Amino acid sequence: MIHESIGNYRELEFAYDKLSLEEGFELTDFMGKVRINRTPQGLLLDVNFQAYAVGQCVRCLENYQQLLTTEFQELFAYRSRHTRDEELFVPEDGNIDLEPLTYENFLLVVPIKALCRADCKGLCPVCGTNLNETACEHTEAQIKY
């Protein structure tokens, strides 16, 4: 792409059953598309990925598969006298490693308060029973907050 005319582009599709990113971040059913556009400044990447990651529900503490989707755009600049040190640069060999950007952007979409489902009943505050699976003898009236 480096030596192609300005305005040229390529689309790459990705699909992996399992993908391990930095810090042991595991994704399954990973799929998506990257469009690489040749611009005067460098290579502009439009990225759209989705995958499943193991999440833990904040109410019932059960693990579940949560769907994560991320879209981001990044410019990998050609080195010139007008570029700044904080910019991402097109590597000398022309191969761009998307792992760090993919990891960072997936981390941004992980919910802070993840729920296995919207109507999750959580745990009984007295005995710890998962109220989604069974009922316990404690009622709302008996629980003192």
Residue with the larger pLDDT of the pair 3 and 5: 5
CA atoms within 13 A on the CB side of 18: 4
Beta pairing class for 63-77 and 9-20: unpaired
pLDDT band at 143 (very low <50, low <70, confident <90, very high): very low
d(CA 84, CA 45): 19
> Residue 2 has what pLDDT?
73
Q: Residue with structure tokens 């040229």?
A: 8
pLDDT one-digit tens code per residue, 13-64: 999 999 999 888 999 999 999 999 999 988 999 999 999 999 999 999 999 9
The helix (H) or strand (E) run that includes residue 16 is: strand 9-20
Look at the pTM and tell me if it is higher than 0.85: no
pLDDT one-digit tens code per residue, 65-114: 999 999 999 999 887 656 565 568 888 787 889 999 999 999 999 999 99
Q: How many residues does the chain have?
A: 145
pLDDT at 131 over 70: yes
Report residue 56 CA to chain centroid gap.
16
